[in-house]
Chains A and B, each alone.
Chain A
Amino acid sequence: NAGVMQNPRHLVRRRGQEARLRCSPMKGHSHVYWYRQLPEEGLKFMVYLQKENIIDESGMPKERFSAEFPKEGPSILRIQQVVRGDSAAYFCASSLAARDLISNQPQHFGDGTRLSIL
């Protein structure tokens, strides 16, 4: 069973360009999460999506960042007009839907996309 697949592994962009990061969840997983890890810092939650719906975007910067998880295809994290401060590792995680509101399903992570802004 393949794990969470993220591509590209490394992405280099110049300031002002757009960055598109892709995430294919584990087979059967309908929940996707994006996290960002700035250099020498811990992982910070960005957004939580279910198929075609954004459930929690409390960690997303208000401008330039957007995420989607369409009915078909991978989840996409899009960063418009990138700046140097966007340089980071971006991790995607996926999980099964919970059986009920009380149970927990662990999130499984991909190996990330390392974004470098020149």
Chain B
Amino acid sequence: DAKTTQPPSMDCAEGRAANLPCNHSTISGNEYVYWYRQIHSQGPQYIIHGLKNNETNEMASLIITEDRKSSTLILPHATLRDTAVYYCIVRRPLNTGTASKLTFGTGTRLQVTL
């Protein structure tokens, strides 16, 4: 799976947009970009995923650059409950052998403050 690079930590003021970057310069054309977060002592929570187009759901927006070498997760109005470690993961489609597993890196520790 393509390797991802994320800043180790970020701060964001409550009510502001949190923009979390991720570099995945070796991504292949059929690999998806996934975002998960893990709040302390809980299991990872799925946020969003995309292939080429930008995606939006009730939690966040995912912006993928045209060359697909980087992406940004946007939490439009961060709250204290969004404090967590955010993981950007590149995942192969199922027709490439052992593609289903998720490979977690070290993520970005987002601290939302008052």
Contacts and interface: CB of A to CB of B under 8 A. Distances in A.
A102 B46 contact: no
B105 interface: yes
B44 to A, nearest CB: 5
B43 A109 contact: yes
Interface string B101-114: 11111110000000
Interface residues of B, number: 23
Contacts of B42: 111-112
Interface residues of A, number: 29
Interface in A1-55: 4, 6, 31, 33, 35, 42-45, 48, 55
Given A102-B95, A104-B91, A106-B49, A45 B102 contact: yes
A45 B105 CA distance: 12
Contact of A104 (B43, B93, B98): B93
Given A102-B30, A111-B42, 7 more contacts: A33-B100, A43-B102, A44-B104, A48-B100, A91-B43, A102-B95, A109-B44
